[in-house]
Amino acid sequence: MPHTPIKEYELKQHSPIIHFQYDQNNATLRATDLKPRLDELLDNKGHKKRYKLRIINEGDHVKKTRPHSMYFGKLKKSNAMLFFDNVKLQVNTFFNKTLAMEIEQALPICFAYNNFGARKSKGFGSFFVKNTSIEQIYKNNKCKHAVYCFDKNPAWEAFDQIDALYKAMKPGVNVDGFYNKSLLWKFFHNEYNLFNWEKRLLKLNIINRSIDLKEMKNFYIRGLLGLANNYFFKDLIETQLDSEYSDNEIFKLKNGPANFKVTHKNNKIKRFESPVTFKPINDKIYIILRNDKYEHDRLKIKGEHFDFYPNFKTKKNYAYLKKLWLTIPKDFSLEKFMNFVCIEINENNFMNSNSSTANILKNMNIYRIN
């Protein structure tokens, strides 16, 4: 039987994709989104220009009617997130057998460690090759990325579980007027005796408390899990300010919302994608740690300085606000942090509440699989 230049793979979609062309009938997973990630896994980097990808949706796609709160963009509610029932990937290697074999091996690895479309690090756009074991790929660990996992709970949507854990890990959770500090803050406090961080300093700034940067050790720790272009504090939200340090004031915005812009000191780093990727597959949600993102030549974020300054409207309402500059910590182990998260969540140490977020976390057990 003659060798064909085109190999076809069946893909299964496990979570809706947020597509920038979601209103077009032929919108599907884009080859231009997949190919650069596949190129990185090929042994012969010169092969990356010698093959073509074509992605076909042979069935009717189902349009999800409700964008999840984790997506911040503007989407039409009736045309929001796309789900396809029969996606096929065609790979044309133009009779290059060596390249075809390379792609055959690399393709499942590529889908195992990547999602696609907008908000992909939060679990949107999860695809995988049919009839292939994703856990076997993780356990072989060919990409050397640590992978953790927890079971989907049928009582909640997968994205509700991801959202609850992400908030616990990075920004913290506001429930019933009480702010539960993030596990990232707790990790740095336990490991490095860190007291002050960007969120507390911004709050002190808004309520016009004195800030002596020379006497306080300040870090922009949330930047380690992905950069934000701004920090927004809503109007009339009450939260305790570092109550565990006898700072029991009620934090309340009196002059309207406050928004701080965040820019790199040298203006070279404008975006840093989260190194933590959530990937829903069947009845599990995997957590992939991408340490390689810290080692990118153009985005070596550790140790970099960032400015926090009020936008024009905020400065108008709060004339006394100062510009702050904070540094991303140089010493940080993503795996050590994730191991800490596992302990805190599995032992139910994060928050004591009857809220939906607390109940989701109470029923979550996270474990490492490779």
- Tens-place pLDDT, residues 250-283: 556 778 888 999 988 777 777 788 999 999 999 9
Confidence of residue 297 (pLDDT cuts 50, 70, 90): low
Both structure tokens of 308: 């926090």
Do 120 and 71 form a contact (C-beta atoms < 8 A)? no
| pLDDT for the residue 129 | 96
Instruction: Please report, as a single letter, which amino acid is at residue 262.
Output: V
In a 13 Å sphere around the CA of 93, the CA atoms on its Cβ side amount to 15
Confidence of residue 46 (pLDDT cuts 50, 70, 90): low
Strands 230-233 and 258-264: antiparallel
Asked whether residue 2 carries a pLDDT value surpassing 80, the answer given is no
Asked whether residue 89 carries a pLDDT value surpassing 70, the answer given is yes
Which H helix or E strand runs over 344? helix 334-346
Do 230 and 262 form a contact (C-beta atoms < 8 A)? yes
Asked whether residue 136 carries a pLDDT value surpassing 60, the answer given is yes
Who's near 355: CB < 8 A, 6+ residues apart? 175, 176
Q: Please give the Cα distance from 347 to 291 (Å, whole number).
A: 26
Q: What is the mean pLDDT of residues 63-84?
A: 58
Residues making up the chain, counted from first to last: 370
Q: What is the mean pLDDT of residues 348-363?
A: 89
Determine the topology of domain 6-132 in CATH: Alpha-Beta Plaits (3.30.70)
Asked whether residue 72 carries a pLDDT value surpassing 60, the answer given is no
**Residue 241: exposure state from Cβ atoms within 10 A (0-12, 13-18, ≥19):** middle
DSSP structural state of residue 17: B
In the chain, residues under CATH classification 3.30.70 are: 6-132
Q: What is the mean pLDDT of residues 308-321?
A: 89
Task: State what percent of residues in the chain have pLDDT above 90.
Answer: 41
- Quick check: helix, strand or coil at residue 277? strand
Average pLDDT value for the chain: 83
Tens digits of per-residue pLDDT, 17-35?
886 655 555 567 889 999 9
Of 153-157, 341-345, 352-356, the range with the lowest mean pLDDT is: 352-356
Confidence of residue 207 (pLDDT cuts 50, 70, 90): confident
| pLDDT for the residue 78 | 43
More confident residue, 319 or 200: 319
Question: Tokens 């756009």 belong to which residue?
Answer: 125
Both structure tokens of 220: 């922009």
Q: What is the mean pLDDT of residues 58-70?
A: 60
| pLDDT for the residue 24 | 59
Both structure tokens of 88: 């096929």
Q: Please give the Cα distance from 81 to 18 (Å, whole number).
A: 5
In a 13 Å sphere around the CA of 269, the CA atoms on its Cβ side amount to 24
In a 13 Å sphere around the CA of 105, the CA atoms on its Cβ side amount to 12
Asked whether residue 217 carries a pLDDT value surpassing 80, the answer given is no
Of 93-97, 123-127, 186-190, 251-255, the range with the lowest mean pLDDT is: 251-255
Q: Please give the Cα distance from 48 to 26 (Å, whole number).
A: 26
Asked whether residue 156 carries a pLDDT value surpassing 80, the answer given is yes
Asked whether residue 131 carries a pLDDT value surpassing 50, the answer given is yes
Confidence of residue 227 (pLDDT cuts 50, 70, 90): confident
Q: What is the mean pLDDT of residues 330-336?
A: 93
Who's near 272: CB < 8 A, 6+ residues apart? 223, 226, 227, 293, 299, 301
Longest dimension (CA), the chain: 79
Both structure tokens of 282: 């069947």
Q: What is the mean pLDDT of residues 357-364?
A: 93
- Quick check: helix, strand or coil at residue 105? helix
C-beta neighbour count of 55 within 10 angstroms:
18
Confidence of residue 246 (pLDDT cuts 50, 70, 90): very low
| pLDDT for the residue 67 | 53
Both structure tokens of 299: 């985005």
Most confident segment among 2-6, 139-143, 320-324: 320-324
| pLDDT for the residue 20 | 61
Confidence of residue 213 (pLDDT cuts 50, 70, 90): low
Confidence of residue 241 (pLDDT cuts 50, 70, 90): very low
